[in-house]
A and B are shown apart, each in its own frame.
Chain A
């Protein structure tokens, strides 16, 4: 230690832990915020643009429908739409809330038939609240 820990005639024997606690708490907050974001599948998506917004629930289960036929529930990739109902039912059973919001994140180029099939599968899997994900495009 280069600087002598002396304050007047009394040596300073305690380390100041306040800054390290401060930084550690900020890191904890970052982890808490990023944890739900990491639960979304890593699929390249072009979400449809919209101006209206009404569903702001931080807790949700996501269904991702990629442009090349990728299907995922949260971050779990599925072999196809056929497996969606079972996977979603398992996911909803694991959560504590019964009316958990299910957000369908579908690529804008997909035909509506695929999205409708996914929404039907979601309802069959126990989803009571459904929402369609959009990319916010500002006010009109």
Chain B
């Protein structure tokens, strides 16, 4: 390698490695990682206001409205039936299949941790709900 460099330099060529393409490709990889990281690890889901939902769905039948109340970290009430968080999905699916708009109104007790509340929202979304309305004060 050294001999090649010496010969090449003697012949009038450059004996330095061109780092520009390497830096260029590295920076492009950094950009790809920056784009991929937030998409892969952080997300969010939309929630609506329960009061507005109640007004808009006033003309619908009573059975069409699905209400979920988070009672504690591991129990929820679906309409009038109390189930565990693990049993929420199977309880919700038949109700959502009958629901014309796929809307679920969610209320939560004050002392329930936010993580448990989001776990319930996640289960509702994965059960096929189109919209989630969260009850305010």
Contacts and interface: CB of A to CB of B under 8 A. Distances in A.
Interface string A96-132: 0000010100111111111111011001000001111
Interface residues of A, number: 51
B100 interface: no
Interface string B3-41: 000000100111000001101100110110011001111
Interface size class of B (residues with CB under 8 A): 35 or more
A6 to B, nearest CB: 7
Interface stretch (B59-67, B75-83, B118-126): B118-126
Given A30-B30, A112-B113, A113-B111, A55 B118 contact: no
Contacts of A22: 20, 24
Contacts of B49: 123, 130
B4 to A, nearest CB: 15
B132 to A, nearest CB: 9
A30 B44 contact: no
B137 A116 contact: yes
Interface of A: 2-4, 6, 19, 22-23, 26-27, 29-30, 33-34, 37, 46-56, 101, 103, 106-117, 119-120, 123, 129-136, 140
Interface of B: 9, 12-14, 20-21, 23-24, 27-28, 30-31, 34-35, 38-49, 70, 108-115, 117-119, 121-122, 125-126, 134, 136-137
